[in-house]
Amino acid sequence: MLPTLFLDRHLEHIRPELRDIILELRNIIASVAPNATETLHRWGLTYYDKERGGPVSAGICQIGFHQDHIRLAFIHGAFLPDPKGLLEGDRKYKRYVRIQSYEQAPWDYLKDLITSSAHFDPYSLKVK
């Protein structure tokens, strides 16, 4: 994970209520995928399992920074179990959950999605 002070500087322009969502998602990712590689882009954070591959083949998730929400995206989201139907998007593979409020975020469900994605095998198209 990136050093907190380094990340804090890059999150200064984001509204505090959205920053709290980002930090909570980082905590969840660290708990379910402690070996995930975290990279920072101007539009967000990307997480992947470097031991299994790169950001696409071993992608866990992306936290996208938007003006009025945070987007938790999954590069292989179309293959993840989503019994509540919260994953949005019309791309062939990538899906996302739009999070606009910390208080209304389905944290347990998001943790389940991140866990499933961390165990997803893009070669068999199954969660291990």
User: How many Å apart are CA 72 and CA 2, to the nearest integer?
Assistant: 18
Residue 14 has pLDDT above 80, yes or no: yes
Contact 47, 59 (CB under 8 A): yes
pLDDT score, position 3: 67
Give the count of alpha carbons within 13 A of 21, CB side only.
26
**Tell me: the pLDDT tens digits for 25-78?**
999 999 999 999 999 988 999 999 999 888 888 999 999 999 999 999 999 999
If one counts the domains in the chain, the total is: 1
Residues spanned by the domain of 95: 4-127
**pLDDT tens sequence across 79-112:** 999 999 999 998 789 999 999 999 999 999 999 9
Q: How many CA atoms lie within 13 A of 16 on its CB side?
A: 0
What pTM does this model have? Answer: 0.92
